[in-house]
Amino acid sequence: MTHRPTVILSGNDLGYKDIVAIGIGDKRIAMDEKALGRCRASRQFLEEAIKERKIIYGVNTSFGPMCNKIINDSEIETLQTNLIVSHAAGLGAPILPYIALGILAIRLNTLVKGHSGVRIVLLELMENMINKGIAPYIPECGSVGASGDLIHLAHMSLSIIGQGNVYYKNQLMTAKQAFKETGLTPLKLSYKEGLALMNGTAAMTGIAAFALFGASKLLNIACVNAAFAMEIFGGIDDAFDEDLHSVKPHPGQVAVSKTIKKLYQGTGNITQRKELHQRIRNQNDEDIPVFETNINVQDVYSIRCTPQILAPVKETLDHAIATIEIEANSTNDNPIIIAESKKIIHGGNFHGQSISFAMDSLCIAISTLCNLSERRTNKLLDKNLNEGLPEHLISGEKGLAMGFMGAQYLATSTTAENRNLANPMSVNSISCNATNQDVVSMGTVAARKAFRLISNAKHIVTLEILADLQALSFRNSDMLGRGTRKIYEILNEEFRVYDNSTIFHDSLVKFRKLLFSSQLFNNLSIYFQEE
């Protein structure tokens, strides 16, 4: 069996990349012993509070607007199962199994913090489910993101009690069947445990983590595409001058400019500003009032302004990562048990407004990235803009062959769709639960929307990469910079100049997988290193 690194839950912070790695099976999990000690203390304190006949929401009361209905001690375990089966009311396509495993891992990480009052046996079952790859079946629609992801996490919880369906070894089956195959035993929940499982933000956080993983690659590839554009069009160097960005030092702008410049460092394609003056003057040997040069004095915005356009994209992405990782490592159910302070606190840590804002902002950022990509693709294809490249990048007889003409519609239509998806969900609060939940976050809908938008963005950026490679087949590939050359050589091994002899879709599928399902663009710094 291949060795998998282990993530220690609630020993170290759970990063968004860890969530992705756990979901796809690249990492396994274990629980920190000190954290388990806190869990035992939390459970003991809760047990003592129940013996003292204290009224505790969701333990010996009903839920939501029925919280004034006090439950007899003999029924408080039945209450937990009833909560799960009644709230497992989602519909729609299932959340992808690897995201569902990420959700399960996030929820376990929250419970292991030791402020939820659950038993160790529940935590151990969840740990085993994750490590064995038993992914709960969770329909995508249902959460308002305020009392947590109640519907989503109810479906997650069904599998823990041996009900509902799961994915195991890429097969959909009943939870009972999967448990039988793996030797696990479903759990009869004790008081507080159903509520602790359901009342939190794990679903929106899990979906968001996978959205962020895709967004990070999109930003890296957007920088590669910008460097390729500079090389293809002989862009003017001063748009990436360090002094230019030092006088408008947005962190994202400085970082993006530096990355792109490092990628094309050593190039023979870039136009130096200092060489332009005499070249232009040499075009006019007559003393006339005005003459027109065919040499660019400035590049178009989609090349020249790339650092400024992608600056807020990077900053938004960095902020979203920080927000999601805080949420993934938080205690976000209700009530919260602080055993060391002898407190049981009723509050609203389950509210997902922070995630909702972060995902809405991410949608705006990635939609902006798409605008940039689509416009550069258009410049490559339009014979009036592409500075001498063949129209539509046609290789072959123009008119009989059509090159990238049809493929452009993919980028244009998907960019338009993403602009629509960039509309915010976080402002769309609708009261529900007999107006007990009177302000809700819609965080899970925002995260789902971001995941879809980022998936769309991959189409757009993939097409631009193909257009770059096609353009480089006509010119400038022999003088590429150090980083752009390394990337070009890797991609060109898989690239075939499009000449209408194949179905374009096949190239898109191949390169989308190459770009986003490999580690080629996880870290661009490997391409900066000198040979």
Summarize pLDDT for 249-262 with one digit per residue, the tens: 999 999 999 999 99
Check whether residue 196 and residue 215 sit in a common domain. Answer: no
**pLDDT score of 292:** 79
Q: How would you class 132 by CB atoms within 10 Å of its CB: exposed for 0-12, middle for 13-18, buried for 19 or more?
A: middle
Q: Which of 16, 57, 301, 498 is catalytic?
A: 57
Q: Which residue has the tokens 């479906």?
A: 155
Check whether residue 214 and residue 171 sit in a common domain. Answer: no
Residues in CB range of 148: below 8 A, 6 or more apart = 198, 199, 200, 201, 202, 332, 333, 350, 352
Region label for 187, one of left (φ > 0), alpha (ψ between -120 and 50) or beta (otherwise): beta
Residues 403 and 398: their CA atoms lie apart, in Å, by 8
pLDDT band, residue 39 (cuts 50/70/90) = very high
Structure tokens that stand for 86 in this block: 């009644």
**Model confidence at 287: pLDDT above 80:** no
pLDDT band, residue 127 (cuts 50/70/90) = very high
Check whether residue 130 and residue 236 sit in a common domain. Answer: no
Residue 409 a catalytic site member: no
Asked, for residue 432, whether it belongs to a domain, the answer is: yes
Asked, for residue 1, whether it belongs to a domain, the answer is: no
The total domain count for the chain is 2
**Contact (CB, 8 A) for 324 and 16:** yes
Which domain-ending residue is among 143, 165, 200?
A: 200
Give me the CATH number covering residue 99. Answer: 1.10.275.10
**pLDDT score of 307:** 97
Residues 334 and 337: their CA atoms lie apart, in Å, by 9
**pLDDT score of 62:** 84
Check whether residue 311 and residue 436 sit in a common domain. Answer: yes
Of the listed ranges 123-127, 128-132, 336-340, 450-454, the least confidently predicted one is: 336-340
Check whether residue 144 and residue 222 sit in a common domain. Answer: no
pLDDT band, residue 308 (cuts 50/70/90) = very high
Taking CB atoms within 8 Å and a gap of at least 24, the contacts of 95-98 are 95/138, 95/139, 95/140, 95/152, 95/203, 95/207, 97/135, 97/167, 97/170, 98/23, 98/24, 98/25, 98/135, 98/210
Check whether residue 88 and residue 225 sit in a common domain. Answer: no
Alpha helices (H) along 54-149: 76-87, 97-111, 120-132
**pLDDT score of 296:** 84
Check whether residue 416 and residue 494 sit in a common domain. Answer: yes
Check whether residue 249 and residue 167 sit in a common domain. Answer: no
pLDDT band, residue 274 (cuts 50/70/90) = confident
Asked, for residue 169, whether it belongs to a domain, the answer is: yes
Q: How far is CA 402 from CA 97, 410, 460, in A?
A: 40, 15, 19
Check whether residue 165 and residue 250 sit in a common domain. Answer: no
Dihedral of CA atoms 148, 149, 155, 159 in degrees, nearest 10, equals: -50
**Model confidence at 361: pLDDT above 90:** yes
**pLDDT score of 258:** 97
Check whether residue 225 and residue 187 sit in a common domain. Answer: no
Of the listed ranges 99-103, 283-287, 398-402, the least confidently predicted one is: 283-287
Asked, for residue 435, whether it belongs to a domain, the answer is: yes
Q: How would you class 341 by CB atoms within 10 Å of its CB: exposed for 0-12, middle for 13-18, buried for 19 or more?
A: exposed
Check whether residue 231 and residue 323 sit in a common domain. Answer: yes
**pLDDT score of 2:** 63
Asked, for residue 205, whether it belongs to a domain, the answer is: no
Which domain-ending residue is among 200, 230, 247?
A: 200
For residue 433, the tally of other CB atoms under 10 A from its CB is 16
pLDDT band, residue 95 (cuts 50/70/90) = very high
pLDDT in tens, 338-347: 999 999 999 9
Give residue 238's Cα distance to chain centre. 33
**Model confidence at 44: pLDDT above 70:** yes
Check whether residue 191 and residue 257 sit in a common domain. Answer: no
Give me the CATH number covering residue 443. Answer: 1.20.200.10
Asked, for residue 64, whether it belongs to a domain, the answer is: yes
pLDDT in tens, 471-497: 999 999 999 999 999 999 999 999 999
Using the Cα atoms of residue 305, residue 307, residue 312 and residue 314 in order, give the sign of their dihedral: positive
Residues 329 and 106: their CA atoms lie apart, in Å, by 8
Indicate the residue type of 103: I
Mean pLDDT of 211-231: 98
**pLDDT score of 368:** 98
Residues 422 and 419: their CA atoms lie apart, in Å, by 5
pLDDT in tens, 385-408: 999 999 999 998 999 999 999 999
Asked, for residue 483, whether it belongs to a domain, the answer is: yes
**pLDDT score of 469:** 98
Structural domain harbouring 344: 210-283+290-527
Q: At 343, which helix (H) or strand (E)?
A: strand 343-345
**pLDDT score of 531:** 58
In this structure, are strands 6-9 and 28-31 parallel, antiparallel, or unpaired? parallel
The residue that leads in pLDDT, 351 or 58, is 351
Q: What is the rounded average pLDDT for all residues in the chain?
A: 94
Which domain-ending residue is among 181, 200, 219?
A: 200
Of 385, 415, 410, residue with least CA distance to 232: 385
Q: What is the CA radius of gyration of the chain?
A: 27
Q: At 28, which helix (H) or strand (E)?
A: strand 28-31
**Contact (CB, 8 A) for 38 and 113:** yes
Residues 46 and 190: their CA atoms lie apart, in Å, by 12
